[in-house]
Structure 1
Amino acid sequence: MEKHALLNSRHTGVLLPLFSMNSRDDFGIGDISSLKEWLEVLREMNFDLLQILPINEMPPQTNCPYTSMTAFAIDPVYLAIKDVENLSPEIKKTINSKEFGEKIKEFKQKDYIDYDGIKKLKFGLMWEQYNHFSLKFGPGSPEYGKFEAYMAANAYWLDDYAVFRRLKDLKGWTSWTHWEDGVRNHDHAALENFRKEQFFNIDFFKYLQWEIEKQWRQAREKAGKYGIKFFGDLPFMVSQESADVWSRQRDFSIDMEVGAPPDAFSETGQKWGLPAYNWPELEKNDFEWWRLKVKKFADFYDIFRIDHMVGFFRTWIIPRNPSLKPSFDILDPLAQENRGRNFLKAVLSASPMLPIAEDLGVIPDYVYRVLKELHVCGYKVLRWEKTKDGHYKEPEIFDEISFATTSTHDNEPMALWWEEVDRAERKRFWEMVSPKKGKVPLSYAKARDRVVEKTMKANSAFAVFPLQDLTASKERVNEPNTVGAHNWAYRLREDAGKFFKKNGELIAFLRKNAAERHEKK
């Protein structure tokens, strides 16, 4: 397959989850308006790539973006209420009131992100707005015609999603596997009656997605003017309690769950609580669900991360029946290689986006071979790239079709790693980073500039930094194998404007180094 145009030049970016983006008018979580503001910071850095984590809708009492209830719909928690088109005068008055301001202040002062509380507040406001829109712009009006056009263009995923969301609300969020037969089995006749009876409430969820997409389009247009590409994340799997598993039951095997085999980090392996794919069915329809997903997210992103790349070649499956043992779903290496190759070819042909494969961990050689064959970037995390004798590899020799980074969202930021790693290891890393060698800095804050400069010199097409590794922050995004409000709660303490004023020297340093990097190719 042809090499993607983005691979013909060098790019520099930052990983900053949308939920982390602080802005003056947000409700205690970054929203699409926050995104537009932070584009100004990237522009000043001379960065041309913004990487975010998954933004699909999560069910209640969930804060992990990799456990979504839909592969297509965006979580309304990211909707910027003040930017909703044709916002009602009553809502404008509400959100500008002192009482409302106090409520938002409470959300912002919490040491975690109150996903459920913020979402409940936004849903209440948007239900009021939906009623206002329906009364003011009824069927036959030009504005309603735009809404109808959106619903028609997205019917292939939006119809089932909106029905599923309404059913979940009505049934108190019980598992769809416990619903009555016709609805549980996604029977057309049973659902048709439900659609007719509940059309107004069902269309509310469609209206939310329409408003989200209009706001996202504006953000992407602004990014385009600044020459900034959006890099999104498409998780390996959705929750069993998702619109996708319910509506496409033949594509999934809910009697099994996926995970990871035992390794040096886990003697028993990992169970992720997510259903397995029914691969024969997926292959029969040429990975249709994934092709549709990739096609849709081309409306949001220029680049997408394929989570758990090795899982598409071979998946570690754990039967829910405890008498059966976990195993890989395919044992023959050639069959594994062929399935992964066929999958990648299908998604590559489905959209103009560039895929980047998360290929970290224990990866068979054939995965790297297929990625190279299809011009798909894999990850190069500087602190994990070593020679056989234990020395760190020079980023200047990385393959150009690769994605160089200092950290991922799942591991500790550089400042924390620098503090916790043993002295000998830190010395070896510093010898790779600093041309002068010399005394090893005791803190990452003092080593940061050299680490950033070295990463910028990577031969990789992409050099991307989690924001914490630029600011020398020790705050984590996620701590794997732990559950709680401390995860997925990383928030900047200042908005984009204050961040710019506070970090002027850092931004000037990054701008200079990014310019030098971009000139090389």
Structure 2
Amino acid sequence: MTEVTFSIQYNTQPGESIVVTGSIPELGEWEVNKALRLDYRDGGHWLGAATISGDFEYKYAIAYDFGTALTCEFGDNRKCALADGLARAVLQESWRPHEVDTNVLYSSFFVDGALRPAEDRIAPATGKYESGPVVRIVMRCPQVETGDSVAVTGSCAALGDWDEAKALVLSNVDHPVWTGEFNTDAGQEISYKFIIKGKDGKVRCWEEGDNRSLLVSKSFGKGDLWVKSDEFFRFKANWRGCGVAMPVFALRTKESAGVGEFNDIKKLVDWSDKVGCALIQILPINDTVAKQKWTDSYPYAAISVYALHPMYLNMKKMGTLRSETTQKAINEKAKELNALPEVDYEAVMKLKSRFYKLLFDEVKEEFFKDPAYQAWFEKNKEWLLPYAMFSYFRDIYQTPDFTKWGDFSSQTFEQLEVLADPKKDDYTDISVHYFIQYHLHLQLQEAAGYARSKNICLKGDIPIGIFRHSVDAWMYPNLFNMEMQAGAPPDDFAVDGQNWGFPTYKWEEMEKDGFQWWVKRLTQMAEYFDAYRIDHVLGFFRIWQIPMNAVTGLMGYFNPAIPIHIDEIRSRGIHFDYDRYCKPYIREHFLGDKFGEYTDYVKSEFLEPQDHGVWVLKEHVDTQRKAANLLAPTETMSMADRARNEKIKRGLWALHAEILLIEVPGSNKTEFHPRVRMNTGCKSFEELDGHSKSQLYELYLDYFFSRQEEFWAEKARVKLPAIKNATNMLICAEDLGMVPACVPGVMKKLDMVRLAIQRMPPDTTQSFWHPQDTPYLCVASPSGHDMSSIRGWWEEDRAVTQKFWEEILGHHGSAPSMCEPFVVYEVVNQHLWAPCILAIFPIQDIVGMNGNLRRNPPQVEQINVPANPEHYWRYRFHMNMEDLIEETSFNNSFKKMIMDAGRRSAYGTHTQ
């Protein structure tokens, strides 16, 4: 048995004390009430002792006198190994604080990817307990390049007497913790510092700051252990890396078949390794096959949050058909599709689906006997079986809308197990989806492993919503508000807001089991990714909710939210008129502006006159949804009629939006949400009297920018920790749009990396965001998939680019009319030199620096147009990755940019 003394420095607040909770009975076996409580000493010093044998894990925590709750220190459990016969041990340690920027370095993005250690770990240096006191140095340091090592040198012979060549090299067996032992004399004070040594034995860098020190008690002798734990190697600069953004479907290689595939990721890894990128960012890759048309190309409308999209399979890696004639025809068609400038989604899916079914028929008997497949099936059965049955019913009924599946519109897992009995005749049509998903898993797993072997990480994408007609909505209807639609309020890229059509979440229901729907989803994702982007993280604070009878985002409101009560309105001296404030305000004098030559037709067909130039909508178009359905184009309609209907439809939508307040359902006309942007282009607001206008606008500002802040922060603090703790992946959250003031603080507490887009500054008084102003925990990027590339944006508004030319690039005179390569170079270089942890560039912006490699015109480089809900996601990079890899001059130039900016070295400096 060993007498272990825990010693830690921490300044607590009144009512707080420090405890040690751990894996052994002496430390409470992780039970809060049984933890070892330390005693307070002067100067914030806490001490406590327990008699322990063997190895154990533990953590320090703050306990509150008024209850049993604990706030544990940051990070994984500490580990302590006690040798047999050890008499005494002192653990002299430092508190591991939360809200430290470098905490993100302990995510799997770094420890398993970008800073992954070499396979041959460094063996530990051990002291001789029979010779006197042993000191064990413990240093947590993930920021070490593969093959390099942490060493300690200092003022004693065991540490080399400050000779760096004789420094004690520490072991990284327990990566990212570095440890080493040496003998010392009791009572000896030792000064020391940590250094990084390269593979060649040369010192890469010394840590900054004053010398560290330790003093072993004079009472220590043979068989005693003194553990000195240090935190944070004091680097001159924080780790900063570079990444490339490329949707998988946009990848082009000589081996693909009309669309990017998981196998093609390896070529992108090779190029990233060549130039020095540490991260590859992709868009969602889940199965979106719903209507089996090009509209399924939308990657944010997955029919399963688990299943991968079948189009990403490489057919050659799956196998070869027995019929040489059929295989040759498939190969020729694949080659033809691969030569197209864009993705032909329907043709690709038709070709690959045919191949999958033919191959499955040939190999299914052997496939089902494969032990690896059987183990994978059992592990994933909870989602895989419902997904396969959903796909089967979708094909049988020719619709993903499960409400039209008769008796199968609602099913339990147990019922599906019976339906999916292998002995039934239709089992082949069901199990083919197992076959496809297993191969998708193998190919993505191989690509992810290849990336990690090169110290490059894959960054996935988590959509904020689920598709309305999906496996998840079918199996877990209790988790979703199917009568509502999620979207986003208006911004500069979508002036009417966005309506994604997804049902909103029932967060209270999800909370009941600890958000397991999210936890399981993320756990599976961690098999392939070491980082992920949360699409629209603002939805975890509040979602923009749109009723089903509306179409545009203008008709939405925040949920949850503290509404405006009718008493607030009246207390400001406003005469409240429900019809005037809550029903469409339609007047004769502005109808011509909205409908032009169709005004008289609209008045006769869709409007009813009231007194004195007042109009109301007729019942058959009294909601946006009704107008959309009535005026939808048909296959036989002429282009002129299509254009007419589109103009009238949008004009009617604008009339629907001529309201000031949206009633809270069930409030009996007493509670309201203000219509977003009521003060911008809204005739109903413009034509109020001055007093009502000013007072209502004050309520508007209070609603959107003041009263909700703590309320929304508390909602996020309930949900986001469960999301974060589900895995160790690095979380990069997209927080663009109408961002509540509480968001940055909540995200910082959870070590979430924010997004900074140069064209979308968080300060609405600014036109642009300068990369040098980006905080460390941010991803800086000049553009994204929902906007034009640097070059495309440059040509959109001459006045804006002139302002950018002068204010951000610091040039005088007239800006170039076209975005020349040197302009793109300057923008990219600004981002590389930004102080943030990651600078990620769409591949379009990277090659935009080279006049010979860029694609023209730049408008074809935009991946998505958010204002168009029926956009065809078919963009493909115009070069084969094999050819880009061979562009030596360009690649070396980009690599030098990355190196010069300190984004190539783990130590933040140009060391290679």
Length-normalised TM-score, structure 2: 0.53
- Match in the other structure for 1:152: 378
Within 5 Å, which residues of 2 pair with 1:349-360? 349-360=725-736
Q: Partners in 2 of 1:371 and 1:41 — Cα distance?
A: 33
Matched residue, 2:862: 476
**What per-residue deviation string (whole Å, max 9, x for no partner) do you get for residues 226-278 of structure 1?**
11110111111121111111011111111111122355665654322111112
Q: Deviations over 1:365-414 (max 9, x none)?
A: 11111111211111111233376764644422311000100101001110
How far apart are residue 129 of structure 1 and its match?
2.0
Deviation readout 1:84-103 (Å, 9 max, x if unpaired): 2xx245267744x2x33442
Give 1:483 shift.
Answer: 4.8
Larger radius of gyration: 2
Structure 1 runs not aligned, ≥5 long: none
Change over 3 Å in CA distance of 1:124–1:436 after alignment to 2: same
Task: Map 1:66-465; keep pairs closer than 5 Å.
Answer: 66-84=300-318, 87-90=319-322, 94-95=326-327, 97=328, 99-139=329-369, 144-181=370-407, 183-188=408-413, 190-196=415-421, 197=424, 198-262=426-490, 268-320=496-548, 326-332=556-562, 333=708, 334-385=710-761, 390=766, 392-423=768-799, 425-431=800-806, 433-434=808-809, 440-444=815-819, 445-465=821-841
Cα 1:178–1:228 shift into 2, 3 Å: same
2:526–2:729 Cα contact (<8 Å) kept? yes
Which structure has more strand as a fraction of its residues? 2
Q: Deviations over 1:77-133 (max 9, x none)?
A: 00001112xx245267744x2x33442244235454222221222122112222332
Q: What's the secondary structure of 2:502's corresponding residue?
A: strand
Of Structure 1 and Structure 2, the greater helix share is in 1
1:42 aligns with 2:417: no
AA matched with 1:217: Q
3-state SS of paired residue (1:383): coil
Distance 1:456 1:173, change over 3 A: same
Deviations, residues 335-383 of structure 1 (Å, cap 9, x unaligned): 3212212221001111111111110011101111111121111111123
Contact 2:321 2:358 (8 Å CA) reproduced: no
Counterpart selection for 1:55 from 270, 285, 289? 285
Whether the 8 Å contact between 1:257 and 1:272 is mirrored in structure 2 is yes
**RMSD, aligned α-carbons:** 2.5
Q: Is the 8 A contact 1:383 1:429 kept in 2?
A: no
Given residue 868 of structure 2, which amino acid in structure 1 is its aligned partner? T
For 1:273, what is the secondary structure of its paired residue? coil
Distance change (3 Å), C-alpha of 1:50 and 1:404: same
Identity %: 28
Selected match of 1:12 from 225, 229, 242? 242
Q: Which amino acid aligns with 2:390?
A: F
CA 1:330–1:294: 2 relative to 1, 3 Å: same
Is the alpha carbon distance of 1:91 and 1:330 closer, same or farther for their aligned partners in structure 2, counting shifts above 3 Å?
farther
Q: Are the structure 2 counterparts of residues 505 and 443 from structure 1 closer, same or farther at C-alpha, using a change threshold of 3 Å?
A: farther
Contact map agreement 1:54 1:232 (CA 8 A) in 2: yes
User: Separation in 1 of the partners of 2:475 and 2:764?
Assistant: 48
Range 354-363 or range 339-348, more displaced? 339-348
The 3 A distance-change label for structure 1 pair 156 and 383 is: same
Q: Which protein, 1 or 2, shows the higher relative CO under an 8 Å CA cutoff with sep ≥ 6?
A: 1
* Aligned counterparts of 1:110 and 1:233: Cα–Cα separation in 2: 27
Secondary structure of the structure 1 residue equivalent to 2:876: coil
Partner of 1:513: 897
- Equivalent AA in structure 2 for residue 429 of structure 1: F
State the distance in 2 between where 1:371 and 1:118 align.
40
Quick one: structure 1 residues 380 and 133, their matched pair in 2 at CA, closer, same or farther if it must change by over 3 Å? Answer: same
Amino acid at match of 1:132: E
Per the alignment, residue 878 of structure 2 pairs with 493
Given that 2:254 and 2:882 are in contact with CA atoms closer than 8 Å, whether structure 1 keeps it comes out as no
Aligned counterparts of 1:265 and 1:136: Cα–Cα separation in 2: 52
State the SS of the aligned residue for 2:257. Answer: coil
> CA offset at residue 498 of structure 1?
1.4
Could you say what secondary structure the match of 1:299 adopts?
coil
Find the aligned partners of 1:24 and 1:205 in 2 and give their Cα distance: 27
Q: Distance in 2 between matches of 1:390 and 1:190?
A: 57
Q: Note the residue ranges of structure 2 that are not aligned, 5 or more in a row.
A: 1-73, 75-97, 111-237, 563-707, 849-854
Distance of 2:436 and 2:313 partners within structure 1: 8
Q: Could you say what secondary structure the match of 1:490 adopts?
A: coil
- Please tell me whether the aligned partners of residues 400 and 470 of structure 2 are also in contact (alpha carbons under 8 angstroms): no
Deviation at 1:321, TM superposition (A): 5.1
Secondary structure of 2:482's aligned partner: strand
Q: Normalised by the size of structure 1, how large is the TM-score?
A: 0.91
CA–CA distance in 2 between the matches of 1:250 and 1:92? Answer: 50
Please tell me whether the aligned partners of residues 58 and 67 of structure 1 are also in contact (alpha carbons under 8 angstroms). Answer: yes
Give the whole-Å Cα distance in 1 for the aligned partners of 2:816 and 2:808. 12
